[in-house]
Amino acid sequence: MRAGGVVTAVTDGDTMVLDSGEKIRLIGTQAPKLPLGREDFVGWPMAAQAQRALEALALNRSVRLGFGGEEIDRHERVLAHVFVAGEEGETWAQLRMIETGLARVYSFPDNRKCLDVLLAAEARARMARLGIWADPYYSVRAADKVDDLLKRAGQYELVEGRVLLADRRSGRVYLNFGRFFKEDFTAVIEAAALRLFAADGVDPLAFEGALVRIRGWVDDRDGPRIEITHPEQIEVLATR
């Protein structure tokens, strides 16, 4: 934990600038995206609301920064948990944005601290249909709705379904959600991720038959799929 400075600008719902010039990315969250000058980029629903909410929370206030892994990204932004000073104590910005439904959990294999608290807050906001969770754009997708998932290729999604088969092949584990493995939805756990699962004492083959929620970027390779890079991308909802 270290002093950060005073927030002088809020770029969007998960990025801010300090009086030192540092750009801070609120690690562990993903707020709806604004175009921010990108050509042909269509802003996501509720992006402006998320930006305004973070601005109301943090603009012109002092913040402290906490770290849980990598501290700088390839865009030279500081990756931090942000604690905003207030009259009644500090507010953890990530938690506030997620619990009010203006961001969702978005994690990385090299930055995994505090995710259990954030996932629990996201679940409460989703159950209450707060913020983004009342908009179909952010709906949890069904693993058996293959055509719908293919339309979401290139997007970050939450996908729920029951694992029909968990299979280890060529140093990877494949979680198959349908009988036609080259057409149905699949979650793929690569070798580097398997080492993280092993370190956590989790055997991905045990997911066979379980009802799970997968989060990640959807691509289209032999049907829709999501690559798993760390254990927090998989939430077990029921074992059988």
pLDDT per position as a tens digit, 184-197: 999 999 999 999 99
Q: Average pLDDT, stretch 97-107?
A: 97
Query: Which residue bears the tokens 């030192």?
Result: 20
174, 224: one domain: yes
- Domain end (from 88, 111, 134): 134
145, 89: one domain: no
202, 115: one domain: no
Burial zone of 21 (CB within 10 Å; 0-12 exposed, 13-18 middle, 19+ buried): exposed
Structure confidence by residue, pLDDT tens digits, 163-181: 999 999 999 999 999 998 8
71, 189: one domain: no
Structure confidence by residue, pLDDT tens digits, 34-88: 987 777 878 899 999 999 999 999 999 999 999 988 999 988 999 999 999 998 8
209, 229: one domain: yes
Output the average pLDDT for the chain. Answer: 95
198, 148: one domain: yes
229, 196: one domain: yes
96, 214: one domain: no
154, 105: one domain: no
Query: How many domains are there within the chain?
Result: 2
State the residue range of the domain holding 155.
140-238
Cβ atoms of residues 103 and 94 within 8 Å: yes
CATH number at residue 225: 2.40.50.140
B/e letters for 66-89, b = 16+ CB within 10 Å, e = fewer, are bebeeeeeeeebbbbbbbbeeeee
158, 130: one domain: no
Residue 206's nearest CA partner among 218, 196, 216, 198 is 198
Residue 96 has pLDDT above 80, yes or no: yes
84, 164: one domain: no
